[in-house]
Structure 1
Amino acid sequence: MAASSPPPTGQTAPFAYQTTQLVYVTNLVSDSVSVIDTSTNTVVGTVTVGDGPRGVAVTPDGARAYVTNSDSDNVSVIDTSTNTVVATVTVGDGPQGVAVTPDGARAYVTNSDSDNVSVIDTSSNTVVATVTVGDDPRGVAVTPDGARAYVTNFFDDSVSVIDTATNTVIATIDVGNLPSGVAISPDGTRAYVTNSGSDNVSVINTSTNTVIATITITIGVSPTDVAITPDGTRAYVTNLGDTSGGVQNVSVIDTATNTVIASITVGNGPQGVTVTPDGARVYVTNSFDDSVSVIDTATNEVTGPPISVGDGPTDVAIATIGTPPPPPPSDRRGRVVSKKPLKVHERPARRSPVEGSLRPGEVVRIECKVDGHRAKGNDAWYKLASEPRGWVPARHVKVLDPPIPRCSDN
């Protein structure tokens, strides 16, 4: 990070927003997690965890990494500020995948040998629910609004959809053969599922929970994992098996056309994949040569030498640690928590004209807040930066990207 010049005499220095991005890689054989600093692409730490670590997910604030240990039937919780294990949570048999909800309150863990999903309360690091799903659940992903969790069932050729409010399965979707990885588009409208046995990717419409497209992996075998760029335009798929020419690669899918537009040769046995928050780079674990490849998304080429990690790297996740700058007004989000459609008013007053309405659970963009007509003890109102434009009572919207500035300061 470049150093900033000191302020002129008599002026106060602006707050310095400093962040570090760390990549957490589970090493299945060596029972450890390698920590990579993205600024140098070097390993800066190794954390000993349970037996057979497979999945890893990081809380939205970057403070904790949750690691599934498939052979010891538990989850290691890593404090990313110290890179030490601060808790161990017993779950089901053969835990594989893990995903954390957008609010950071819950971690969903797939247990492949007990055919269920453990739900961990991250504040207490205890299991608060167990959800029965299909045969051999592997991958799991949560929608951006936190309302649904999508779980791939490897031997059932299906995906279970869990309602996170009730922790019950509300739909089962037939997909391709031996589904493993799953990722949700940033707008929450699509789920991409890798089918390792049929060499294709199923695209699910999350509003209808039906498959609307099947993408054939033209150059690649056994698609295993998938990650989507923050702008939602590309999906990166790791192909674990060899092609006829002995090449192991990553397929790049254009999500607008749902076609493969590039194939990138990486290391031996590509398995886990993740994208940096700015969308500039993709990190891929090469499970058979104990390394991580880094892809430049602008060129779709591998940049730099492979990064040596532990034995059998499997999954990968990125933690942003530190104090990031606040998002611009149009990027601050909130989720409607009212039980009924929420009216959007022309002014911050209940008796002002209604401009439209928002459905319960809908994610909106917030520009700023003011004090307006009091609503059951809360006089704050949010000005929307997304359609329909207008004002809503703050008591009916849960902020996802705090803080919300006052309109006079915006």
Structure 2
Amino acid sequence: MISIKRAARAAAVLTGIGATALGAVSIAQADTPSSASSRHNGARTTAGDGTSVSVPISGRDRVYTADQTSNTVTVIDPSTNKTLGTIALGAQRLGATLSPQYTDNVGVHGLAFSRDDKRLGVVSVTSNTVDIIDTATNKVINETDVGRASHEGTFTADGKQFWVADRGRDTVTVVDAVHGGVIRNIKVGTGPSKVVLSPDGRTAYVNHISAPEITVVDVRTHKVLDNIKGLGDTFSSDEAISPDGKELWAAHKRVGLTSVIDLEHRKVAAVLKTGPDTNHPNFADTKNGSFAYLTVGGLDQTLVYRRSPGGTPELVTRIQDTGRAPHGLWPSGDGTRMYVGMEKSDAVDVIDTATNKVIDTVGVGQEPQALVYVPNAAPAGSAANLGRQGLGNAPRNVSTTLPDGTAGETMRPDNKGRQLEATIRPVSGLDMIQLQARGLQPTTTYQAYSVQKDGSRIRLLSFTTDSAGNAPQVLAFADFTGVSVSLSSEGKATAQTLARMSSAVASMHPGSDSAVEAADLLYCDCC
């Protein structure tokens, strides 16, 4: 059954029930390299998505962020670095989203765009939906219910299909991007996380959150061609393909590594130690050479590597971002700028790739995840059909105290990141209190408190760390009146608590190994 935007559903979207397209739909044919480049006057492609380089920044271009908490897509004019507004795909968290009658999207998270720059694909990870948006009008063309825990996807070269990875299943869902609806599901192995295409559009590459490998799929036949094994970790959250199609970089968020895959020989060329909460990679070809950019959320840094196809890349510099938790990033059409979303600051940094300096910062919707730059997305330069949902409610990152009295938010040496971060974000009349812990005592229960101005403490919540002493995503919703957050240790977690955590992981992701923590999937702080 095809699901069109705003149409009534037979069941609430939070159940994530998939849909099956009625009737026969032809398989999309990949564009040849010549036809793909002819649309851009013979320009080369960047990041394997078919967009052109050497296209000067203009008011016709757009930068988009997928805002997970406000359930919006923010639209930015890169010629002025001004936020034009947001496209609301659902209500803000809580409130209406908990209602069994709620029919809009939850967890706006993934982004991709068609090679003709006319369509934007948006993946909502909680409602398991894909929205196709007309970039000229900012209107939703169609919406499709897809697989469980859908995450990141891509358009085929002809723009007729959108392939999205279903983390909660072993499938990539193929969506009819023109009419809406599911064409078919391709089995690719457990926990697929993202799909990217080769520059010629003929080959798809899928990373996983449950296997240290990349699955290679023929786009025309939908057949699995190969599995590239030996990645640095089983959990690969994001990936990107280089402009020349020779390399694929796969980020391993939980362990702070990045695998560099040689696609010509289909083997791992290097595993880089990049830092805690390594998020998205991307590429920029500049007058100074070919570079890979990589966000490291736990260090608030964007790393820059000089590419060395077939060898080990060289770390050129570390860019200190202006906000917390850099996440998605994308180069401008001419490679002169890199745009980086700040997940815990609701902002986008603009980096000059010639100097690798942040030259501007732009406010966006709440909790930006994926980010894309689309040249010529708005040919008329319009900003029609935009609202203000999610804007003007910037979060606060407050200080924290560990059980031994030391500061938890201090950046630790040796690129270990902060031990305890607390982000307070207003949403739906309450505050979303988000904690992230690293390097605490393993399998230990902690009590978190809101510390008031007079030093008194109010209980917020309790949480249990994993076997590495981490808690990637801890959430509470309350009226936060404190000035900081403190922790006390409640001791080792009981066997019952650990069993409950393990059961939660198994129920959310059947077939996953025990290393995938509940928080990895519950709120998807793992893009």
Instruction: Check conservation: 1:18, 1:323, Cα contact below 8 A.
Output: no
1:388-403 matches, within 5 Å, as none
Counterpart in the other structure of 1:158: 213
Counterpart in the other structure of 2:343: 287
Aligned-partner Cα distance in 2 for 1:309–1:134? 35
SS at match of 1:125: coil
1:40-51 matches, within 5 Å, as 40-49=80-89, 50-51=105-106
Aligned-partner Cα distance in 2 for 1:186–1:103? 18
Counterpart in the other structure of 2:307: 255
Counterpart in the other structure of 2:254: 197
Counterpart in the other structure of 1:357: none
Counterpart in the other structure of 2:148: 93
Counterpart in the other structure of 1:299: 355
Instruction: Check conservation: 2:59, 2:78, Cα contact below 8 A.
Output: no
Aligned-partner Cα distance in 2 for 1:25–1:323? 19
Counterpart in the other structure of 1:187: 244
Cα displacement (A) at 1:91: 1.0
SS at match of 1:233: strand
Q: Mark the CA change 1:34 to 1:322 in structure 2 (over 3 Å): closer, same or farther.
A: closer
Question: Match for 1:205: what amino acid?
Answer: D
Instruction: Check conservation: 1:222, 1:241, Cα contact below 8 A.
Output: yes
The one of 58, 61, 68 equivalent to 1:21 is 61
Counterpart in the other structure of 1:34: 74
Aligned-partner Cα distance in 1 for 2:238–2:291? 16
Aligned-partner Cα distance in 2 for 1:24–1:323? 16
Cα displacement (A) at 1:120: 2.0
SS at match of 2:61: strand
Aligned-partner Cα distance in 2 for 1:235–1:103? 27
Counterpart in the other structure of 1:56: 111
Aligned-partner Cα distance in 2 for 1:136–1:286? 26
Cα displacement (A) at 1:136: 2.2
* TM-score normalized with structure 2 length: 0.54
SS at match of 2:60: strand
CA RMSD, aligned part only? 2.0
SS at match of 2:254: coil
SS at match of 2:159: coil
Counterpart in the other structure of 1:14: none
The one of 275, 282, 304 equivalent to 2:331 is 275
1:197-346 matches, within 5 Å, as 197-217=254-274, 220-230=275-285, 233-242=290-299, 248-256=300-308, 258-266=313-321, 267-304=323-360, 306-320=361-375, 321=377
Q: Mark the CA change 1:25 to 1:93 in structure 2 (over 3 Å): closer, same or farther.
A: same
Aligned-partner Cα distance in 1 for 2:285–2:146? 31
Question: Match for 2:246: what amino acid?
Answer: T
Cα displacement (A) at 1:115: 2.7
Higher relative contact order (CA 8 A, sep 6+): 2
SS at match of 1:179: coil
Aligned-partner Cα distance in 2 for 1:303–1:295? 6
Q: String of CA shifts for 1:50-89, please: whole Å, max 9, x gaps.
A: 2101110111122111000111111111111111212111
Cα displacement (A) at 1:239: 0.7
**Percent identity among equivalent residues?**
32
SS at match of 1:221: coil
Aligned-partner Cα distance in 2 for 1:30–1:283? 20
* TM-score normalized with structure 1 length: 0.69
Aligned-partner Cα distance in 2 for 1:221–1:259? 19
Question: Match for 2:344: what amino acid?
Answer: F
Q: Which moved more, 1:224-233 or 1:307-316?
A: 224-233
Cα displacement (A) at 1:124: 2.7
Instruction: Check conservation: 1:252, 1:263, Cα contact below 8 A.
Output: yes
Extract unaligned runs of 5+ from structure 2: 1-56, 90-104, 381-527
Question: Match for 2:176: what amino acid?
Answer: D
The one of 101, 112, 120 equivalent to 1:65 is 120
Query: Where do 4+ consecutive residues of structure 1 move more than 3 Å?
Result: none
Question: Match for 1:302: what amino acid?
Answer: V
Aligned-partner Cα distance in 2 for 1:312–1:176? 28
Aligned-partner Cα distance in 2 for 1:60–1:302? 28
Cα displacement (A) at 1:45: 2.1
Instruction: Check conservation: 2:135, 2:378, Cα contact below 8 A.
Output: no
Cα displacement (A) at 1:185: 1.4
Structure richer in strand, relative to its length: 1
Counterpart in the other structure of 2:161: 106
Extract unaligned runs of 5+ from structure 1: 1-16, 243-247, 325-410
Aligned-partner Cα distance in 2 for 1:228–1:319? 15
Aligned-partner Cα distance in 2 for 1:61–1:19? 17
Q: Which moved more, 1:252-261 or 1:307-316?
A: 252-261
Aligned-partner Cα distance in 1 for 2:131–2:155? 14
Aligned-partner Cα distance in 2 for 1:239–1:176? 16
Q: String of CA shifts for 1:132-181, please: whole Å, max 9, x gaps.
A: 22332222211001111111101222221111111122222231122122
Aligned-partner Cα distance in 2 for 1:301–1:149? 34
Aligned-partner Cα distance in 1 for 2:141–2:281? 29
SS at match of 2:206: strand
Aligned-partner Cα distance in 1 for 2:228–2:176? 27
Instruction: Check conservation: 1:134, 1:158, Cα contact below 8 A.
Output: no
SS at match of 2:153: strand
Aligned-partner Cα distance in 1 for 2:314–2:152? 26
Q: Mark the CA change 1:140 to 1:86 in structure 2 (over 3 Å): closer, same or farther.
A: same
Aligned residues: 300
Q: String of CA shifts for 1:173-193, please: whole Å, max 9, x gaps.
A: 231122122111112121111
